[in-house]
Amino acid sequence: MKALLLADWGKPFYPALRKKFPAVEFAEAYADADIKREVADADIVFGYLTADQFRLASKVRWIQTLDAGMEGLFRRIPDVVEADVTVTNARGAGAPQIGEHGVALMLALSRGLGDFWRLKQLRKWDQPHGLSIVQMIAGRTAGVVGFGKSGKEIAWRCKALGMNVIAVDRRAVDGDPIVTNVWSADRLRELLARSDYVFVTVPYSAENENLIGETELAVMKPTAYLIVTSRGRIVEHRALVKALREKKIAGAGLDVVIQEPLPPDNELWELDNVIITPHIAGNSPELDQWTYDIFEDNLHRYLTKQPLRNVVDKRLRY
């Protein structure tokens, strides 16, 4: 059995991988010509192939991807949907970091840290303004849209901070002990109406694109904040800008946006009630290790014919 390793950041981990699985032939390839040569007789791929490389992968039966988001894979290789290939992703490797980052954005918004940073640049001590904007999150309601691994990491942290937590998900998900019940997707607007902080953690799919648009934003409290850590296209961009400009919602914390990098002339840069971070919520020095750990565990499962972790539903594309 041959496994093709495409992630160059994994080089420090590969000697241990070879030692642990001596029966597997491991090949590392990083240049296109090398990948095309090696993939022809590979059974397993760790990383991403291009469409041309995938056409040569006649023996591949399992692809372990390096991220939680899957739209890139399906955009590059639409043929993988119908192919006899199992796809798994790295869902969960960045979830604790996303939990911390989502809560950090919430705290920054609730305590007015953006305003205080701007005042610092002006060397201005404005206590009356500060007293008028700071809020306490204990006792407030956090609504989590998408109760997967990242959503749960945000939710339990919110609960630990004394918040009431509610959640919706398209799937039947056990929310215990964080929430009593995870609501079905048809209760999204009810969640939006009740929440003081809305966290968007659903994966991207065609079905989820513009899940939150003008109608959904309109039911949110004018004092509520929207925090998005999954994909920018889950929230309709024009509707979000309009709601923020007109103060239909209090503000937003965005780690992901409709176009990345966000162009310098995008309207979001101009808005004082928005905090923007450059799609780094899931990152930390531990991310590579945890992504590799998922592959190593799945490789053991694959060789011993056990169910794989993080199998992607190719019909839903996540």
DSSP 18-49: HHH-TTSEEEE--SHHHHHHHHTT-SEEES--
> In whole angstroms, what is the distance from residue 142 CA to residue 264 CA?
31
Is 231 a known active-site residue?
A: yes
Catalytic-role residue among 231, 233, 236, 317: 231
Catalytic-role residue among 207, 260, 270, 286: 260
Is 207 a known active-site residue?
A: no
Helices 95-110 and 113-121 meet at what angle, rounded to 10?
70
User: Which two tokens mark 306?
Assistant: 């056990």
> In whole angstroms, what is the distance from residue 219 CA to residue 138 CA?
22
Residue 311's alpha-carbon distances to 44, 64, 67, 203, in angstroms, are 14, 9, 13, 14
Helix (H) or strand (E) holding 199: strand 197-200
Is 129 a known active-site residue?
A: no
Catalytic-role residue among 129, 187, 279, 309: 279
Catalytically active residues are 231, 260, 279
